[in-house]
Amino acid sequence: MKDTVFIEGLKTEAVIGVYDWEKKIKQALVFDLEMEHDNRLPAATDDLSKTLDYEAISNYITSYCEENVFELIETLAERLCRALLNDFHINALTMALRKPGAVPSANAVGVKIYRQKPTT
């Protein structure tokens, strides 16, 4: 069985892009996350510390985007996934990262990746 905790449509801004003009402004980003986590223990105990705190994760993503600069959304997605897997009790996650307005004729462009916590 695979349980999922999700965050949908998380909006934040970042300095991201390859063009000189993009490196001088913040641009909108939208994240969708599906995080694999066994929800049986938090459900049984009604204890926030046993679950994935989606507010803490959302704040983490926002801070991460504000504190770093990237040229490629691929780089941001990869590094952010790695950080989330390391810093939270997430077994695996799927992240969709959209950059609305990057292509005027499209609602958004972006990447979608799936990453698992490394096994030791």
**Residues designated as active site:** 99
Note whether 66 and 53 are within 8 A (CB). no
Q: How far apart are CA 97 and CA 61, in angstroms?
A: 11
**10 Å Cβ neighbour count for 7?**
18
Note whether 94 and 116 are within 8 A (CB). no
Please name the residues in contact with 50: beta carbons below 8 A apart, sequence gap of 6 or more: 41, 42
The amino acid occupying position 63 is S
**10 Å Cβ neighbour count for 105?**
4
